[in-house]
Structure 1
Amino acid sequence: MSALDQVDVTDIKRAVDSLRGEATALLSDLVRCPSLLGEEKSAQDLVRGVFEGMQLQVDEFAIDDTKLKQHPGYSPSIVSYEGRHNIVGLHKPRHGTRGKSLIFNGHIDVVPVGAERLWTKPPFEPWTDGDKLYGRGAGDMKAGIVAYIVAMKALKNMGLEPAADVILQSVVEEECTGNGALACLVQGYRADAAIIPEPLNCIMHAQMGVMWLALEVAGKPVHASVAHTGVAAIDFALYMFGELKNLEQKWNAPEHRHTEYRGHEHPVNFNLGKIQGGEWASSVPTACRADLRLGFYPGVAPAEVRETVEQIFAEAHRKHPQSNSIEYKVIYEGFQAEGFVLDINSPMVTTLADCHRSVAGSEVTFNAFTGTTDARFFNLYGNIPATCYGPTAANIHGIDEWVSIDSMMEVASVLATFTASWCGTNRI
């Protein structure tokens, strides 16, 4: 008899469903906390209070950037860590340990809202329309944090506790470096498996590498009436990005694709996400900074990508007719993240798939993600099998972000079922 055979899924679903109102209220409260980069404290204070109310051992700790810099998974941060803490809640069984340990990880930070006037309602004022709960961060990924909290609460309401350590992590800075999750690893938190309820509506079995870099350009300023005699820094930055896009096209060609991404329409994406430059409408711009995001396949080291990018930039600069009048430099800040492939036949994955089938009554889908997540730290540096499995959401990083409340509750039921199966349970 498997561990899953001993779990009463109907009882778990009933216990989870009874928490629907509480879950929706908690998600709304979290969305009201505008946990943008560097502003995560209010949301983390709320999470800490929830963990304390669950009688978990709570560890709130600052990120030691000096210590992280020595780790191969480190990415250069773009803001200070002062006042920005991770919150970890630790469940230790009171009635005997006999199962396998588990980490639930989620990030509390959210991306900027963009042009707020395009939102139907203010982005940090949650609102519902049927099954959808709207607001920045609702899907990515505060609903995932709520789902694992509800999973643990549902088991407790059933008179059960996981019979192994369960570590609940709410981390900062997933959206630009992942150093929050890395800090948990460096802090010493380990388990036999990790699940991140990112809003992918699948089990993620692979993810891309991602790199951020900035291209800074200094040009030759002249009056706009003789613009043809100068070198516009903005134009040159766009020219350099255009040359780099040829590499994106090459990596997307069928003969250069990674096996796990053969079926994707366009797996490798280079994005010019931000550009700043110029001083005056009637002056050829002196300076420009372009912030870029590059995707690359699992198995490719960030150092290899950096070398390739710098060779392309050097050649583009060399062949430019006005190269003598323009300078540039490349700065690496933010993601320097490797990709990975997860064994879908590992016990963690097969157990999670079984739990999904048992709760949802259908087979789970598997997906190779074209972005990055904090799962890389567990798989690459912690020897901990980790995947993303979370609710259905849409417009993440876009306008009118929303998450399906039904799917959040279903994920909570799956996570509770997985916890009971993976960790075992004790009566309390």
Structure 2
Amino acid sequence: MASLEETIAERVEAQADRIVETLSALVAFPSIVKSNPKEAGPGERDCQLYLQGRLEALGFTTDLWDPDGPALYAKYQGRPGANKGRTFEGRPNLGGVLKGTGGGRSIMLTGHIDVVPPGAAQHWATDPFKPVLKDGFVHGRGTIDMKGGVACMLMAVEILKGLDVPLSGDIVFTTVVDEEIGGMGSLAMVDRGFHADAGIMTEPTANKIAPLCHGILWGKIIIDGIGGHAELTPNAWYSGGPVDAVQLCRQMLDGIDILNRRWMFDPKKNHPLMDQPNQIIVTQVSAGEHPSSMAGRAEIIIDAQYLPSEKDEFALGGNVKREIEEHVFNVCQADPYLRLHPARVEWILDADCAEIPADNPFVQTFQEAVKAANLSPALSGFGAHSDIGLPSGLGNTPTVNFGPGDPAQSHQPNERVSVRDLVDCTKAIALAVERWCR
């Protein structure tokens, strides 16, 4: 007679088509998040309504609500997840609880259903919102980041329910919006009271347990030059002549490279579970006003990483902000103009990070379940930001990342996830829930 774990594994394998169908249904909703939340279409709400129907069919008690962004910001200003200007009218969060028989440990399965815009259509081989199954892969926007993971966690519960697996602990299921623009959806979810004894956030990790993620700082370095005619011999700047902001921008970019080389060998900027040291990544550069004029202004947008060990007293990246500001100031000291007219940094976003210790009981239980699913139990770091810090910290729900697909494909055109990864992820989650909540 097959054991319960063998029965669960066999049922997951038999449900591969159902897993693909579920993911395809989710991808077909264009749940695109926007910098201006009032421009968002109905895709987020439609996706959440679909998931709500699936949960209620399984016996979940559900809660679908539009968070109050301004009220959340007022309540949590200066804390992780609190981002000014985010609103949620017509952009609901979804939470649900499936009660266990009582006395067992609870688990929260959580993810986000918002996706980034697909970009130029010519970069896609398929319509990003018309999912295609081809050569063992599901193609479409969000298959990796992270509707693939949401499909897996939903199917894991559906399969356990279909097998009448007895669970003592509750299953909490949450899907949020606004993750791709700062994480306020997760803040709203935790503030709503959703929590458990442990959690799995199904961000893409190539089916590796990632109890660690980076914190992220977005900043704008502003450099003020003095405009002037680009084709004429200039006067010296100290006698009223122009100062080329493009040249000053080059100097600042070189300075960022210097700091990155320093961080490469700094123990504080490295973690044994991370593949790379913390970095400052230049993601946007803009300068100039006219083709025949020297640039009077330049802006450099940066994306900087930090580790949980570097968090400040508010559980955010204030210490690293000050470190970067000091470095920008020192770069300016090497130039006589910038010494008198220093560049300044305006901070756009601070997204927190978290680390769940390897000896946490849930991490160890999850490793056993992953091994039973014939996957590697080795722990890994999640190089990007994820929202695990909000349920882990504010919600007191130690949460790890674990999901299907290559995370490097996130936000790229021609996003795709293998059916094999989806099946393996569903199996590992189902086995973890059974072990933890039994």
Which TM bucket (shorter chain)?
A: 0.7 to 0.9
Which residue of structure 1 lines up, in the alignment, with residue 176 of structure 2?
Answer: 171
For residues 24-423 of structure 1, the aligned pairs below 5 Å read 24-38=20-34, 39=40, 40-65=44-69, 66-71=71-76, 72-77=79-84, 79-93=86-100, 96-160=101-165, 162-200=167-205, 201-226=207-232, 229-253=241-265, 255-260=267-272, 264=275, 266-301=276-311, 302-323=317-338, 328-337=343-352, 339-360=353-374, 362-393=375-406, 395-423=409-437
Identical counterparts, % of pairs: 24
Structure 2 contact 82–187 (Cα < 8 Å) conserved: no
Alpha-carbon distance between aligned partners in 2 of 1:61 and 1:144, rounded to the nearest angstrom: 22
Structure 2 contact 5–431 (Cα < 8 Å) conserved: yes
Deviation at 1:207, TM superposition (A): 2.2
Alpha-carbon distance between aligned partners in 1 of 2:233 and 2:286, rounded to the nearest angstrom: 19
Alpha-carbon distance between aligned partners in 1 of 2:132 and 2:341, rounded to the nearest angstrom: 50
Cα deviation, 1:389-420, whole Å, max 9, x if unaligned, reads 11133522223211111111121122112112
Structure 1 contact 77–177 (Cα < 8 Å) conserved: no
Deviation at 1:104, TM superposition (A): 0.4
Alpha-carbon distance between aligned partners in 2 of 1:226 and 1:79, rounded to the nearest angstrom: 47
Q: Unaligned stretches of 5+ in structure 2?
A: 35-39, 235-240, 312-316
Deviation at 1:31, TM superposition (A): 1.6
Structure 1 contact 220–326 (Cα < 8 Å) conserved: no
Alpha-carbon distance between aligned partners in 2 of 1:182 and 1:380, rounded to the nearest angstrom: 11
SS in 2 for 1:330: strand
Structure 1 180/320 Cα, relative in aligned 2: closer, same or farther at 3 Å? same
Cα deviation, 1:353-400, whole Å, max 9, x if unaligned, reads 11112122x542211222221112233333322111111335222232
Alpha-carbon distance between aligned partners in 2 of 1:51 and 1:242, rounded to the nearest angstrom: 52
Bigger Cα displacement from structure 2, 383-392 vs 17-26: 17-26
Structure 1 contact 221–231 (Cα < 8 Å) conserved: yes
Structure 2 contact 110–201 (Cα < 8 Å) conserved: yes
Structure 1 contact 139–199 (Cα < 8 Å) conserved: yes
Structure 1 contact 75–333 (Cα < 8 Å) conserved: no
Deviation at 1:77, TM superposition (A): 4.9
Structure 1 121/253 Cα, relative in aligned 2: closer, same or farther at 3 Å? same
Cα deviation, 1:225-251, whole Å, max 9, x if unaligned, reads 238653344543443243233222212
Cα deviation, 1:261-291, whole Å, max 9, x if unaligned, reads 5x73x32122122234433222233344332
Structure 1 241/382 Cα, relative in aligned 2: closer, same or farther at 3 Å? farther
SS in 2 for 1:332: strand
Cα deviation, 1:149-196, whole Å, max 9, x if unaligned, reads 001111111123533221111112222312211221111112100001
SS in 2 for 1:335: strand
Structure 1 contact 84–172 (Cα < 8 Å) conserved: yes
Letter matched to residue 53 of structure 1: A
SS in 1 for 2:322: helix
Structure 2 contact 221–344 (Cα < 8 Å) conserved: yes
Match of 2:10 among 14, 17, 37: 14
Alpha-carbon distance between aligned partners in 1 of 2:411 and 2:329, rounded to the nearest angstrom: 33
Alpha-carbon distance between aligned partners in 2 of 1:237 and 1:129, rounded to the nearest angstrom: 45
Give the alignment's TM-score, normalised by structure 1.
Answer: 0.88
Alpha-carbon distance between aligned partners in 2 of 1:42 and 1:281, rounded to the nearest angstrom: 46
Structure 1 contact 196–375 (Cα < 8 Å) conserved: yes
Structure 2 contact 358–364 (Cα < 8 Å) conserved: yes
Structure 1 222/81 Cα, relative in aligned 2: closer, same or farther at 3 Å? farther
Structure 2 contact 67–88 (Cα < 8 Å) conserved: yes
Letter matched to residue 51 of structure 2: V
Deviation at 1:326, TM superposition (A): 5.5
Deviation at 1:254, TM superposition (A): 5.2
Structure 2 contact 81–390 (Cα < 8 Å) conserved: no
Cα deviation, 1:10-67, whole Å, max 9, x if unaligned, reads 2212332343222212212222222222333333333233323333222122333333
Alpha-carbon distance between aligned partners in 2 of 1:330 and 1:194, rounded to the nearest angstrom: 36
Structure 1 41/257 Cα, relative in aligned 2: closer, same or farther at 3 Å? same
Alpha-carbon distance between aligned partners in 2 of 1:298 and 1:36, rounded to the nearest angstrom: 29
Q: CA RMSD in A?
A: 2.6
SS in 2 for 1:373: coil
Structure 1 154/269 Cα, relative in aligned 2: closer, same or farther at 3 Å? same
Structure 1 218/53 Cα, relative in aligned 2: closer, same or farther at 3 Å? farther
Alpha-carbon distance between aligned partners in 2 of 1:32 and 1:252, rounded to the nearest angstrom: 41
SS in 2 for 1:226: coil
Alpha-carbon distance between aligned partners in 1 of 2:147 and 2:60, rounded to the nearest angstrom: 19
Alpha-carbon distance between aligned partners in 2 of 1:395 and 1:212, rounded to the nearest angstrom: 21
Structure 1 255/19 Cα, relative in aligned 2: closer, same or farther at 3 Å? closer
